[in-house]
């Protein structure tokens, strides 16, 4: 067997990542070939000929195998370029359009399962959720290895080992259970009031509402997790934290698409620096919080085992590794949903008015809308949030899982060993087989009709498949902060709806919001220029 083909077989079977092995196969082997050519060619010609021939043969072998009927995923449809290399899907991912691109592919190939990489499949079937992500489902895929900056001390989301994930998740669960949430309510209320004050100070002028909500989320996250430290609503992003976070997210897309590259990221300092800067910010904030202690029961009170629930305290390295995740998950995701809700309310005035009426019913003027005693009865508020989460999934392209040494059956589809899989949440939650009528439209009433289908009077069949609705992921690795997110969203939206009126700024092209929305692991919303006025002035 020739050297390039042998190299292909070895890397296909064992996937070595150690630098000495890479140097041997990608430098020394072709270099040895050039030595043979020296008997016939000068050195300056022998070297490029040997290397070009070697890598051309290697790439040809890889390409032919990936497109051949002998590849384990050959029967699954998908564009040839995606079957050849993950670089092509990375190109769509870094642009932020992966979710929309894959949705178009589902329609183009008329298939619920697509091959979107040499060894990756994506599903849009609700029946795939449980076998893929449920209690007896699959472990997280190699994309999470790629996103992990630290190989030993990982944060919760990057653990691909289910045992280690479960072990670390226990502290997060204590920090986000109903008892802990009660302690966070005054913090949410204080920051939500500050957000409304900020908007009212800019009343009458154009305000970037998504930026203001992002600042609110960061300030609350700082209080809830670290016992304070952020004042974005007062100072803005003076430390460049948001810029660092966005840079890290974009590099993370590369690491997720091509996980092996993360092992050698240090060879390209510009990329490594962008990825490490934000992680260093999170780690430094976590370390500072742990070392100084806290007078309140913030999230790190539980992550650091200050509550004494675990027999052994975690090390500083273990706890501080959670810092970047806390910042990202505690601010970026919730602020995106809140911004999208406000965008949709401004876009659909009739929905906005119905929500105002419900808020006024439970919290008339003089009543504190930040008191959550009536939230459980506010069905329309919940419908508005659910419909926003359905249209604008938090993870549009889903969360990656992977088969290991043995293949699995997912519905009617056999998935071979060592294959990455994911659910295309964006497509699944907009599929007319799951939600109808108007699956691409904002219609909160569908959630109320689902409670009593007899109230539906339309001619198009009503479909409401809640098993296809997984806004906070699914199974043992779902979003541990789901309860906190719901509480935060309801408190903020009730207070905003009671206190202010929001409309799009003059000249704003409404379609820009969804057009510019990015799928960078979690959804990244665009600017939202609005005019804010006091609610009482419009009553």
Averaged confidence pLDDT in the chain? 91
CA distance 242 to 84: 35
Cα-Cα-Cα-Cα dihedral sign, residues 117, 121, 125, 129: negative
Q: What are the φ/ψ torsions at residue 185 (nearest 5 degrees)?
A: -55, -45
Please spell the DSSP secondary structure of 440-463, one letter per residue.
TS--THHHHHTT-GGG---SSPPE
Three-class DSSP category at 253: helix
347 DSSP assignment? H
505 DSSP assignment? P
User: What would the pLDDT profile of 34-92 be if each residue is shown by its tens digit?
Assistant: 888 887 888 889 898 989 999 999 999 999 999 999 999 999 999 999 999 998 988 88
Q: What are the φ/ψ torsions at residue 188 (nearest 5 degrees)?
A: -60, -45
Burial (CB count <10 Å: 0-12, 13-18, 19+), residue 440 = exposed
In 281-432, DSSP assigns E strands to 401-402, 408-410, 413-415, 420-423
Instruction: Please state whether the peptide bond connecting residue 437 to the residue before it is cis, i.e. omega within 30 degrees of 0.
Output: yes
Residue 276 has which token pair?
């490490």
Q: Which residue has the tokens 């060894």?
A: 119
* Residue 147 near residue 252, CB atoms below 8 Å: yes
Judge whether 479 is annotated as a binding position. Answer: yes
* Residue 124 near residue 432, CB atoms below 8 Å: no
Q: How far is CA 383 from the centre of its chain?
A: 22
pTM of the model: 0.93
- The full set of domains in the chain, from first to last, is 1-68 (no CATH), 156-538 (1.10.630.10)
CA distance 532 to 530: 6
295 DSSP assignment? S
Could you tell me which residues come within 8 angstroms of residue 452 by beta carbon, excluding any fewer than 6 positions away? none
111 DSSP assignment? -
Do the bridges between strand 435-436 and strand 420-423 make them parallel or antiparallel, or are there none, so unpaired? unpaired
Per-residue pLDDT 10s for the chain (539 aa) are: 588 899 999 988 888 888 889 899 989 998 888 888 887 888 889 898 989 999 999 999 999 999 999 999 999 999 999 999 998 988 888 888 999 999 999 999 999 999 999 999 999 999 999 999 999 999 999 988 877 655 567 888 888 889 999 999 999 999 999 999 999 999 999 999 999 999 999 999 999 999 999 999 999 999 999 888 899 999 999 888 888 888 888 888 888 888 887 777 777 777 777 777 777 788 888 888 888 877 788 999 999 998 999 998 888 888 888 888 888 888 888 999 999 999 999 999 999 999 999 999 999 999 999 999 999 999 999 999 999 999 999 999 999 999 988 899 998 899 999 999 999 999 999 999 999 999 999 999 999 999 999 999 999 999 999 999 999 999 999 999 999 999 999 999 999 999 999 999 999 999 999 999 999 888 889 999 999 999 874 44
């Amino acid at each position: 067997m020739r050297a390039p083909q042998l190299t292909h077989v070895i890397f296909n079977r064992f996937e070595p990542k150690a630098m000495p092995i890479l140097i041997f196969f990608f430098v020394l082997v072709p270099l040895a070939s050039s030595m043979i050519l020296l008997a016939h060619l000068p050195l300056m010609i022998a070297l490029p000929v040997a290397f070009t021939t070697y890598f051309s043969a290697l790439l040809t072998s890889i390409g032919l195998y990936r497109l051949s009927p002998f590849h384990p995923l050959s029967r699954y449809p998908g564009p040839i370029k995606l079957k050849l290399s993950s670089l092509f899907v990375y190109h769509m991912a870094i642009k932020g359009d992966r979710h929309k691109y894959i949705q178009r592919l589902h329609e183009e190939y008329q298939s619920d399962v697509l091959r979107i990489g040499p060894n990756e499949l994506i599903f849009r079937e609700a029946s795939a959720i449980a076998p893929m992500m449920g209690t007896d489902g699959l472990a997280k895929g190699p994309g999470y290895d790629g996103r992990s900056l630290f190989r030993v001390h990982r944060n919760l989301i990057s653990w691909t080992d289910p045992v280690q994930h479960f072990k670390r998740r226990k502290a997060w669960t204590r920090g986000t259970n109903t008892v802990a949430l009660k302690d966070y309510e005054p913090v949410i209320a204080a920051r939500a009031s500050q957000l409304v004050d900020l908007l009212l100070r800019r009343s009458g002028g154009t305000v970037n509402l998504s930026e203001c909500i992002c600042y609110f989320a960061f300030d609350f996250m700082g209080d809830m997790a670290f016992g304070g430290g952020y004042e974005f609503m007062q100072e803005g992003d003076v430390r460049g934290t948001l810029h660092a976070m966005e840079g890290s997210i974009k590099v993370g897309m590369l690491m997720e698409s091509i996980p092996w590259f993360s092992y050698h990221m240090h060879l390209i300092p510009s990329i490594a620096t962008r990825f490490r800067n934000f992680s260093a910010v999170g780690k430094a904030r976590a370390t500072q919080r742990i070392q100084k202690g806290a007078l309140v029961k913030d999230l790190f009170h539980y992550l650091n085992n200050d509550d004494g629930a675990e027999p052994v305290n975690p090390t500083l390295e273990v706890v501080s590794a959670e810092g970047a995740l806390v910042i990202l998950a505690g601010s970026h995701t919730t602020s995106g949903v809140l911004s999208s809700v406000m965008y949709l309310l401004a876009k659909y005035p009739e929905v906005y008015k119905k929500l105002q009426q419900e808020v006024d019913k439970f919290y008339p003027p003089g009543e504190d809308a930040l008191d959550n005693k009536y939230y459980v009865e506010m069905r329309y508020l919940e419908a508005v949030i659910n419909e926003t989460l359905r249209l604008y999934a938090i993870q549009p392209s889903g969360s990656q899982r992977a088969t290991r040494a043995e293949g699995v059956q997912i519905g009617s589809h056999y998935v071979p060993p060592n294959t990455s899989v994911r659910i295309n949440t964006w497509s699944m939650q907009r599929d007319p087989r799951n939600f109808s009528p108007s699956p691409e439209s904002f219609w909160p009433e569908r959630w109320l009709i689902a409670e009593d289908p007899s109230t539906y009077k339309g001619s198009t069949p009503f479909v409401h498949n809640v098993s296809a609705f997984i806004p906070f992921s699914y199974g043992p690795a779902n979003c541990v902060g789901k309860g906190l997110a719901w509480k935060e969203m309801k408190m903020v939206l009730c207070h905003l709806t009671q206190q202010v009126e929001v409309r799009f700024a003059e000249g704003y092209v409404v379609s820009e919001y969804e057009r510019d929305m990015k799928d960078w692991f979690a959804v990244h919303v665009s600017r939202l220029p609005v005019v804010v006025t006091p609610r009482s002035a419009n009553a």
